[in-house]
Structure 1
Amino acid sequence: MDDKISLLIVEDEPAEQAAFAECLQNECQIELVGITGSETEALALVDSYRPDVVILDLELQEGDGLSLTPALTDPSRPYSPYVLVTTRTENRHTLDMLRDAGVGFIYDKNIERYGPDQVLRGVKRMGSFLKGRRLGRSGEAAAEKEAAKLRRERLIEELCAEMEDMGLCRRRKNCRCLVWAVYYQLQHREPLSLGKELYPMVAKELHCEPDNVERNIRSAIEKAWDVRNERLDLVYARFPLLVKKSGKLPTNSELIEAFVVRMRRKHAQ
């Protein structure tokens, strides 16, 4: 089990429990330590099995997923897992409370692409990293380094989800280039020069040439603004200032800047 990602699922809907169990049947990277719909039992299972990751449904019949979240992520506890929340709520106050509590990522059950397989991909992405983070707790410097790495992973995951909402595929190079361009620009207060600073940073991250980064971001814009994109209405709603009467697509700089503004506002709420 040491080589696997240990997982606890806190979900009280039988259909959801069965769906997760089915997805995990042939899964060699994840070790399921328990499925429960009880808040009390969830805390007991965390203390007993110390799972790397907990999938937590916010709407529980027995107990409250919202109150369970800070208990799971409380740094004073001897052991705290990485928490992925699944929910149907659209209440902004509730979502902000979850982020403040240190939830790793929130999966919206209302979105068409939601499913156990999608959530389990998030488990895989974060589980192995969590093992490394705990090894670093022996020293403050190591712990801070791992905490910074975790924040980076969370932000990259959030940006990937944003791109998927716009109809892009996270595995494609055009999406990855745009994700990393927004990420690196978010790390700087002043706008970076695309050609001299930003594109080379992304190119180094993705092991390609700066010119290739520029072309791929352009490709991502063309894909998102394509009239055949089923998510086009969401793209327009998310970036209304980039919708031009002439039909002209936004530039790379315009979209990256708009994305940075969106993410900073989102995290400032």
Structure 2
Amino acid sequence: MNKLNLLIVEDDINTINEYKASIRNFDNFYLVGTTNNSSEAVNMVKEYCPHAVILDLELHLGSGNGLIFLKQLSELALPYKPFILVVTNNISNVTHSIARNLGADFVITKNQNDFSCKMVLEFLSSIAQSTINSNLNSSSAAQAAADISNRETLRDKISTELDLIGISSKLKGRQYLADAIEITYNQRVSNLCSIIAKKYSKTDASVERAMQTAINHAWRNTDIESLERYYTTYINPQKGVPTVMEFIYYYSAKIKKSL
């Protein structure tokens, strides 16, 4: 079964967490990311080509707003247009009409009696396959879908490798490491920490520190047999653990050989 690649644009962290918790109960969603910034959301659409976007119009705790996102999205030459589901506290019919004119496909208001994040996901789940199919009408769209599938496979492989050596998803540096391995899988870059720091609005130093902390955690807490089985390259005996870049380049090369 094909999964619907989903982007969530929402400024309330509790709502985002509720979506994430609810998504675990569905087997036909793949969450490509979340953001509370409308400009970043446009960039994420270009990068991830989601099939659908859950869009909050009023990003008071973030940056920009949903109408700006819709306008900027309409100006892009995308291989296919994602299904835009507006989920908002705004009950103005005028605002809803503007959103639809800018490309919103459906509007759900948060003040309706039966509203919940689960209900939103149930609605999307009910139209998931038709939404995926409707966007596969051109060779460029088909290529974009293939690229998404390949990226899902890569991300799953990275996640498995990190699990095997005990780098838990609870560690802040794990996501940074996963992103870094994915980037270097595709190309070598000289400003890796800066790229990741910009994505998460962090400093270069804090990103590098979090990644090294995650690596150190694995080498302190995972049994030596597992580490030697799954991390087979040389480690400087004076340091006892890989450096951030040694770790990233090892896994990007290892995964490239296996895929």
TM-score (norm 2): 0.49
